[in-house]
Amino acid sequence: MSKPIRILLVDDHPLVRAGFQRLLISDETIEIIGEADNGQSACEMYTRHHPDVVIMDLNMPSGTCAEEAGNNLNGGLEAIRRIISHDPKAKVLVLTAMEIDPFPAHVVNAGAKGFLTKRCAPDELLEAVKAIYEGEEYITEEIRSRIAGGGTSAEGVSLNSLTKRELQIFSLLAEGRTVSQVAEFMFLSPKTVHAHRTNIFRKLKISNNSELVHLAIRHEIVQA
């Protein structure tokens, strides 16, 4: 390989980034050209540096302002969508603990070229980076099966029924935000958010915010 693979590493935990950085740079064909700890910074750094591959976590802040300080899956997903919108040829590898349904499907639909869990072997991460750099996809058979609908739990199937907007509202409500706060954050009317919340409750067969939070914790969408 004549030149190193230029990597942008995106994760909100400095120790996690440091660990993956040590692993990646142990391979002389890989170079870390930047790091980001939230979705907004990831998009700005992509525009500035045009890395060959972005390694992206899902569960992290969307932006740098205090209003967006809470961790949620929207940070990673929205960053992927914005990067792909800016550059349809962008190569994004998701490396996350969010392996339960429906997140693999949402990641692929957002435009990512690969999906790995943080439980993967070191060699597999390096293999995935090089495959994506060469223009291939890197999605394991297990994840492909989940995306196709196989092997999902009843709760996973229910979560998979949520639209992208409903999933975002679900995540924000699970963080403890009120309907008014969600409405302000998403530039929607409270009436619209109430309607989405009603649909979310119906699809997930729950009746209150406490059940929603417990469901989100079970699926590691938010931390207990």
Which of 59, 94, 93, 77 shows the shortest CA–CA distance to 216?
59
Average pLDDT estimate for 79-94? 94
Residue 153 CB coordination number (10 Å): 12
Same domain, 130 and 49: yes
Same domain, 136 and 175: no
Q: What pLDDT does 189 receive?
A: 93
- Report yes or no on 45 lying in a domain: yes
Q: What pLDDT does 66 receive?
A: 38
Note the pLDDT tens digit of each residue in 96-107: 877 666 678 778
Same domain, 168 and 143: no
Same domain, 26 and 113: yes
Average pLDDT estimate for 54-74? 64
Same domain, 24 and 126: yes
Which of 79-93 are b and which e, b meaning 16 or more Cβ less than 10 Å from the residue's Cβ? bbbbbbeeeeebbbb
| 224 vs 139 pLDDT, higher one | 139
Domain span including residue 99: 5-148
Residue 199 clears pLDDT 70, i.e. is over it: yes
Q: What pLDDT does 151 receive?
A: 47
- Report yes or no on 60 lying in a domain: yes
Same domain, 50 and 138: yes
Same domain, 120 and 96: yes
**Residue that finishes a domain, picked among 127, 148, 169:** 148
Same domain, 14 and 56: yes
- Report yes or no on 91 lying in a domain: yes
Same domain, 31 and 81: yes
- Report yes or no on 224 lying in a domain: no
CATH number, position 182: 1.10.10.10
For 149-207, where are the alpha helices, taking DSSP H only? Answer: 154-160, 164-174, 179-186, 190-204
Question: What does pTM read for this prediction?
Answer: 0.69
Same domain, 29 and 73: yes
Q: Percent of the chain beyond pLDDT 70? A: 83
CA separation for the pair 166, 162 (Å, rounded): 6
**Residue that finishes a domain, picked among 130, 148, 166:** 148
Q: What pLDDT does 67 receive?
A: 42
- Report yes or no on 223 lying in a domain: no
Burial level of 57, CB count in 10 A (0-12/13-18/19+)?
buried
Average pLDDT along the chain: 84
Show the tokens assigned to 205.
């067969």
